[in-house]
Amino acid sequence: MKHIAIGILGAATLGLMASAATAGTLDTVKAKGFIQCGVSTGLAGFSAPDDKGDWKGLDADFCRAVAAAVFGDGSKVKFTPLSAKERFTALQSGEIDLLSRNTTWTSNRDSALGLDFVGVTYYDGQGFMINAKKLPGVNSALQLSGAAVCVQSGTTTELNLADYFKKNKMEYNPVVFEKLEEVNAAYDSGRCDVYTTDQSGLYGIRLTLASPADHVVLPEIISKEPLGPAVRQGDDQWAHVVRWTYFALLNAEEAGVTQANVDEMKTSNDPNIQRMLGTEPDGKYGSDLGLSNDWVVNIVKAVGNYGEMFERNVGSGSPLKIARGINALWTKGGLQYGPPIR
**Site residues (CB under 8 A) for another protein, limited to 65-104:** 78-86, 88-90, 92-95
* CA–CA dist 58, 33 (Å, integer): 22
Q: Which is nearer to another protein, 183 or 300 (CB)?
A: 183
Question: Which of 60, 40, 39, 45 is closest to 207 using CA atoms?
Answer: 45
**Which of 101, 215, 232, 243 lies at the binding interface for another protein (CB under 8 A)?**
232
Q: Is 217 in the site for another protein (CB under 8 A)?
A: no
Q: Is 41 in the site for another protein (CB under 8 A)?
A: yes
Please, how many CA atoms are within 13 Å of residue 109, restricted to the half-sphere of its CB?
22
Yes or no: say if 109 and 88 are a contact pair by the CB < 8 Å rule.
yes
Q: Which is nearer to another protein, 108 or 269 (CB)?
A: 108
Residue type, 310: F
Q: Is 32 in the site for another protein (CB under 8 A)?
A: no
Count of chain residues binding another protein (CB under 8 A): 73
Mark the segment that binds another protein (CB under 8 A) among 66-74, 190-198, 271-279, 306-314. 190-198
Mark the segment that binds another protein (CB under 8 A) among 57-65, 228-236, 307-315, 321-329. 228-236
Which x/- pattern, by CB under 8 A, does the window 121-160 give for another protein?
-------------xx--x----xx-xxx----xx---xx-
Q: Is 174 in the site for another protein (CB under 8 A)?
A: yes
Which x/- pattern, by CB under 8 A, does the window 101-120 give for another protein?
-------xx-xxxx------
- Residue 232 phi, psi (nearest 5): -70, 145
**Which of 29, 77, 129, 175 lies at the binding interface for another protein (CB under 8 A)?**
175
Cβ at position 339, least distance to another protein in Å: 25
The kind and range of the H/E element at 207 are helix 199-208
Q: Is 216 in the site for another protein (CB under 8 A)?
A: no
Cβ at position 33, least distance to another protein in Å: 12
Please, how many CA atoms are within 13 Å of residue 82, restricted to the half-sphere of its CB?
26
| DSSP secondary structure string for all residues of 231-265 | EETT-HHHHHHHHHHHHHHHHHHHHT--TTTHHHH
Q: Is 10 in the site for another protein (CB under 8 A)?
A: no
Q: Is 234 in the site for another protein (CB under 8 A)?
A: yes
> What b/e sequence results for 11-50 when a residue is b if at least 16 CB atoms lie within 10 Å of its CB, and e otherwise?
eeeeeeeeeeeeeebbeebeeeebbbbbbbbbbbbbbbbe
Q: Which of residues 274-333 bind another protein (CB under 8 A)?
A: none
Yes or no: say if 39 and 60 are a contact pair by the CB < 8 Å rule.
yes
Question: Which of 76, 73, 110 is closest to 91 using CA atoms?
Answer: 110
Crossing angle of helices 25-32 and 236-255, rounded to 10°:
80
Cβ at position 159, least distance to another protein in Å: 4
Q: Which is nearer to another protein, 27 or 270 (CB)?
A: 27
* CA–CA dist 68, 292 (Å, integer): 10
